[in-house]
Amino acid sequence: MQFYDFSFDIDELSTKPNCVRKNYMGTSAKMVVILCLFLFLGMVLPGIFFQPEASLEVWNVQESDYPSNSSSEERLTYLLNYTILAPSSYNSQPWKFNVSNDEIFVFADESGWLSVADKDKREMYISLGCAIENLVIAAEHFGYNCSVSYFPGEKDLVAAVSLKQQPEAGSSSSALFDAITSRRTSRQPFESRVISRQDLDALNRSSSCSDVSIFLTEDPAAKERFRDLVIQADRVLYSDINYKSELGHWLSLGVMGPTGVGAKIAQMEMVFLDPVPEQIRRDADLINSTPYIGLITTKKNDSLSALKVGRAFERFWLAAAARGISLQPISQALEVPETKEELTGLLSDGAEMRTVQQAFRLGYCEEEGERSNRRPLVDALEKNEK
């Protein structure tokens, strides 16, 4: 049997004549390039081919296509086209639905749970609450009476929405309904223009719910404090390789920002480069440009409270979108225990609900950003799982 010895002595190498040395170096450099190419393609190509089929088509849902003469199940399924346009943390779309004759069951799809950024699943339940609110608004628009029971059964079943068609009902609440297809997350700097008292009152009224409070502040000291907490949180989060890997994974799926090869490059930049300075600069600019900071609070700190926050938040967001007002959720300070604790200090002293569930910025934006895509509805339909 013949053995090959691939080891070499670096001293021996350096004593060889130049031409031989060149040959050694040339071969190894080529090998390194080829190896890198294989590694790169190995990481990039499967990532591209296995990217979920997500598209912007979902935003073209038309009221006129509502199948009013079809079966109840088909009509309820149509409502889900509006449900999946809800915002969700990292656009993770952590929902599944099961449609029966007169009920829609909403399940948490934990493959969309961000176990590093969102340890207590707060953002996952808020996202599910946003979807439930879209469903209720769309259903009411098409003449249904809705009642929602929360956590009515097994663990993943977060809500059962029962829908009764009203015999004489026509379309209602069209401003919020229309805003479902125009709402989006605004990641541009805001104008310094203030929002009229009348509009602010209307936003508060539209989202009023006895278990949830939405606190808005334009106080410069509060905004500065909020900005500093976000920066502090950015430093912690974007230096944590587990956080960066999780964010990188969602970027690579092409559901947030770039798609295709761009999504894989965004993932590699997130994982291999140091994003802290750029992230801090960007967040500071965004918050400095913002006329209002909002904090959504509840009394309790449980999954049901987070679901209700999601519903109130989405209603508030749609009411804002209907008035041409832009919004961006800002979650970083809630994802680090120390900064989350400090956010409570921004609330007014007399505030009764002191568990901060979500933060956001609110204002006018000259140019809205691009739309984000969604998985096709069929991927979110769960059959016979009640």
Ligand X SMILES: Cc1cc2nc3c(=O)[nH]c(=O)nc-3n(C[C@H](O)[C@H](O)[C@H](O)COP(=O)(O)O)c2cc1C
Positions that interact with ligand X (CB under 6 A): 87-91, 123, 126-127, 130, 184-185, 187, 256, 328-331, 358, 372
Contact call for residues 386 and 324 (beta carbons, < 8 A) = no
Shortest Å, Cβ 334 to ligand X: 8
Smaller CB distance to ligand X: residue 212 or 330? 330
Burial class (CB in 10 A: 0-12, 13-18, 19+), 4: exposed
Instruction: Quote the CA–CA distance of 298 and 350 in Å, as a whole number.
Output: 14
Query: Taking Cα atoms as reference points, which of 188, 184, 204, 187 lies closest to residue 196?
Result: 204
Chain residue whose CB lies nearest ligand X: 87
Which C-beta is closer to ligand X: that of 169 or that of 236?
236
* CB distance 321 to 360 below 8 Å: no
**Would you say the C-alpha torsion 124, 93, 117, 137 has a positive or negative sign?**
negative
Q: How far is the CB of 256 from ligand X (least distance, A)?
A: 5
Our CB check for ligand X shows the closer of 100 and 185 to be: 185
Task: Check if the beta carbon of residue 88 is closer than 8 Å to that of residue 94.
Answer: yes
Minimum separation from the CB atom of position 130 to ligand X (A):
5
In whole angstroms, the minimum distance from the beta carbon of 45 to ligand X comes to 25
In the bound state with ligand X, the residue whose beta carbon lies nearer, of 144 and 215, is: 215
Q: Where are the strands (E) in 38-176, listed by range?
A: 95-99, 103-108, 144-150, 157-165
Identity of residue 126: I
Nearest approach, Cβ of residue 267 and ligand X (Å): 16
Give the residue with the Cβ less far from ligand X, 138 or 330. 330
Min. distance of Cβ 12 from ligand X in angstroms?
57
Q: How far apart are CA 160 and CA 150, in angstroms?
A: 7
Which is nearer to ligand X, 144 or 177 (by Cβ)? Answer: 177
